[in-house]
Amino acid sequence: METLLAHPAIKAFMCGSLSGTCSTLLFQPLDLVKTRLQTLQSGMQPGSGRVGMMSVLLSVVRTETLVGLWKGVFPSFVRTIPGVGIYFSTYHSLKQHFLQDRRPGAVQAVMLGGGARTVAGVVMLPITVIKTRFECGRYSYVSVCGALRSVCQTEGPAALFSGLMATLLRDVPFSGIYVMFYSQTKASLPQEISSSPSAPLANFSCGILAGVLASVITQPADVVKTHVQVKPQLRTTEAIRSIYVERGLQGFFRGAVPRSLRRTMMAAMAWTVYEQMMERIGLKS
């Protein structure tokens, strides 16, 4: 058992899981607001005061209390804790296998980030579907296990993998672009900053920049993914057509602000915590 726990990939999994726990708990309200914005009824006019980020947030607090902002946090934990662990352990294993201790170049960083996200995304997709349904407020699930059972019984197991293509089209480019920008920005830092006590803050700042760029580029795929998972009868192409007909091009960027805030802060925090923990246990991230 001790030998297993000493394996670098297991250590990376544990570090990643802890970083995912911290970031999920802090930023779940932003994910809920993003999901609510993306699944508003089509009768609500884009640009009206009723569909802004703050109005949705206040509406949730008013109707579901402050705790309502953390609705779906348990399925988020169920997804994120192992999911981020799988992501970082896969990333670490791929990096060690192909690059050993060398710093990845831009293309290599894209491949490492995209490969790790593909593995984690496919494995955790059923929980992602349940999390999205919890957050949208249209389903009355009581627990994650009950939701999984209900979906399998009423819609079939295939529904748990609805939005797979849209999810991969969102997450794989996001992770690849994020790791590329993050690694290249971090590499450009002066050595005196990288080795100083302020290195975690500098790394976090690099993560913020990388997260904003990656979030904006992949936002349309996130909107499509949300629609397919809330309405699994829709195909990806049908969801794209529906969003465009109902809301135009701007519909593909609905919820961009809360998602960008959440994804950027979560990714920056997760990578900062992960790298600090890996350094503490004597491993290169």
Give the integer Cα–Cα distance in Å for 93 and 72.
Answer: 31
Other CB atoms within 10 A of residue 22 CB: 13
- CA dihedral (174, 177, 183, 185) positive or negative: negative
Give the pLDDT confidence score for residue 53 in this predicted structure: 80
pLDDT value of position 125 = 92
Domains of the chain, residue spans:
2-280
Q: Rounded mean pLDDT of 78-103?
A: 87
pLDDT at 150: 92
Residue range 27-55: mean pLDDT, rounded: 69
What is the SS3 string spanning 151-183? HHHHCCHHHHHCCHHHHHHHHHHHHHHHHHHHH
In this predicted structure, what is the pLDDT of residue 5?
A: 46
pLDDT at 43 over 50: no
pLDDT of residue 7: 66
Task: Return the pLDDT at 285.
Answer: 63
pLDDT at residue 123 in the model: 93
What would the mean pLDDT of 183-197 be, rounded to a whole number? 86
Average pLDDT over residues 52-78: 85
pLDDT at 236: 86
* Residue 274 pLDDT level (bands cut at 50, 70, 90): confident
pLDDT at 233: 80
The architecture (CATH level 2) of 2-280 comes to: Alpha/alpha barrel (1.50)
Q: Is 282 left (phi over 0), alpha (psi -120 to 50) or beta?
A: left
HSE toward the beta carbon, residue 45, CA cutoff 13 A: 3
Q: Between vectors from CA 273 to CA 268 and to CA 278, what angle results, nearest 5°? A: 130
pLDDT tens, 240-268? 999 999 888 888 988 888 888 888 888 88
Rounded Cα gap, residues 82 and 5, in angstroms:
16
> Bigger pLDDT: 12 or 206?
206
Reported as a single tens digit per residue, the pLDDT across 217-229 is 889 988 888 888 8
Span 87-100, average pLDDT: 89
Pairwise CA distance, residues 51 & 45, whole Å: 8
Most distant CA atoms of the chain, gap in Å? 59
